[in-house]
Amino acid sequence: MDYSVIDELPPGRKSIKTSHFYDKDRLKVFGFMRRQIAEGRQVYVVYPLIKESESLDLKDLEDGYVSIVRDFPRPKYQVSILHGKMKAADKEFEMKRFVKGETQIMVSTTVIEVGVNVPNASVMVIENAERFGLSQLHQLRGRVGRGADQSFCLLMSSYKLTSDGKKRLQTMVQTTDGFEIAEVDLKLRGPGDMYGTQQSGILDLKIADISKDEKILKFAREKAIQLLEIDPNLSLAENRQTSIAIQKLQNSKQNWIEIS
């Protein structure tokens, strides 16, 4: 498939600085948030859950909101709250307060992942960051860094990290390149089934590795296009073996492993 490559930030934007902190570092993170707010900036704090779960040992928004309001008391600080179960009018009201700068902190779930543009927000704190996928972490990080000021993404986690979770957090700290992040995500999750509905897992191709063989796969595709431009029906003698191979594939169940 054809794709476009945008490998530069918009003019005036700075690369977002990303750091990983453990739960024990919370006071340090709160101190950093206070300093940023004192400089006139705003902060997102994102949680994976709205309510406490009996089956999942994760931070939740309701408890987190109480904690943040306690550490950032009124009237010096104002805190907004936003999640998917709120009424549309309430969500709009809270979002408008944050956009206008009436609140300094937005406590939210991933509903702010897309479509939110607040250039003055310079800090993104993601709780239980190890439980989010790379693409979601990258999307959330993209909510800051939309103005001219230096922005920061702080990834909070427990010490109980799987090898994949650790790799995701390391990747986010090391790069802001969406292409590099996508490559790591592909290797961790697998590409899934191109012909069916499986969206992750190992695609055990006979020859190719789509994460390593980009150049040769692209070369093969270009040659295939050239071939069809010259001989769309594969009727020339030199293309007879190609035509026979394709007919065999068309007469059998579609099999991407054989195609590779």
Hey, where are the domains in the chain?
Answer: 17-189, 195-260
Q: Which tens digits make up the pLDDT trace of 210-254?
A: 667 878 888 988 999 999 999 999 999 999 999 998 888 777 665
DSSP 8-state assignment for residue 2: -
DSSP 8-state assignment for residue 24: G
DSSP 8-state assignment for residue 175: -
Which has more pLDDT, 6 or 20?
Answer: 20
What share of residues in the chain are helix, strand, coil (percent, to 5)?
Answer: 45, 15, 45
DSSP 8-state assignment for residue 72: S
DSSP 8-state assignment for residue 197: S
CA 18 – CA 181 distance, rounded (Å): 14
Residue type for 256, please?
A: W
Angle, helices 163-174/134-141, rounded to nearest 10 degrees = 30
CA 213 – CA 148 distance, rounded (Å): 38
Q: What percent of the chain has pLDDT over 70?
A: 86
Q: What is the pLDDT of residue 254?
A: 59
CA nearest neighbour of 157 among 15, 30, 48 = 48
**Which tokens go with 251?**
């007469």
The domain over range 17-189 is classified in CATH as 3.30.590.10: no
Q: Which tens digits make up the pLDDT trace of 150-179?
A: 999 999 998 888 899 999 999 999 999 988
- Phi and psi at 108, nearest 5°, equal -150, 165
CA 110 – CA 245 distance, rounded (Å): 48
Query: What pTM did the predictor assign?
Result: 0.75
**Sign of CA pseudo-dihedral 169, 37, 95, 57:** positive
